[in-house]
Chains A and B, each alone.
Chain A
């Protein structure tokens, strides 16, 4: 079945680095744009970043620009988020998610992973 499984979360010190991964299965990964969305404890959803199906177009929320890098390896059906210089306010559950239609940005995510928890603390 269609599935996304995140990994790589954990405790990281402010100013450190962490790489999140998302393994996709059950669909043709290369056909779909992908995104990362996060949710701080007890808070709402916040879009982090998106990447086009081929990996060439990358977009970031303003607060993440210059610190986070999204990438994908279509040969491995995997999505990544490199988090550099994280701050306490980056503490959240990070979800990877798939666009609802192939090849098309409608800014709608129809398949979500279970999330991976990132805690930024010294």
Chain B
């Protein structure tokens, strides 16, 4: 199974909104609502930001939101802040007890 497809980079100015896409197939993103998003700062472990497409763990600001349409899931970060600059990875259940990750998107706050 191939990794999910994410744009390698995204950017926005402070206060703006940015959306990162995550494209899979009907066998993963399109077939299940088990899509998650992780934030990773350099040298740090990933941090869960969203799960089951739209759910936010406790402590994650509501500036982070998720959605899904067909085989593509999206992470939207509203009101960009400097600390949002990081790598973001999507993941999706892919059936048969397999989990796929996207290639990652480097978010730059201009």
Contacts and interface: CB of A to CB of B under 8 A. Distances in A.
Interface in A4-39: 35, 37
Contacts of B92: 107
A100 B48 contact: yes
A109 to B, nearest CB: 7
B109 to A, nearest CB: 21
A7 to B, nearest CB: 15
A106 B51 contact: yes
Task: Provide the main secondary structure of the chain B interface.
Answer: strand
A99 to B, nearest CB: 10
Contact of A61 (B48, B52, B98): B98
B99 interface: yes
A108 B45 contact: no
Contact of A47 (B45, B51, B52, B100): B100
A37 to B, nearest CB: 8
B64 interface: no
A105 B94 CA distance: 13
Contacts of A37: 46, 101
Contacts of B91: 45, 47, 107-108
Interface of B: 1, 3, 34, 36, 38, 40, 45-48, 51-52, 57, 89, 91-93, 97-104
Given A107-B34, A108-B36, A110-B51, 10 more contacts: A37-B101, A44-B101, A47-B99, A47-B100, A61-B98, A107-B36, A108-B52, A109-B46, A110-B48, A112-B45
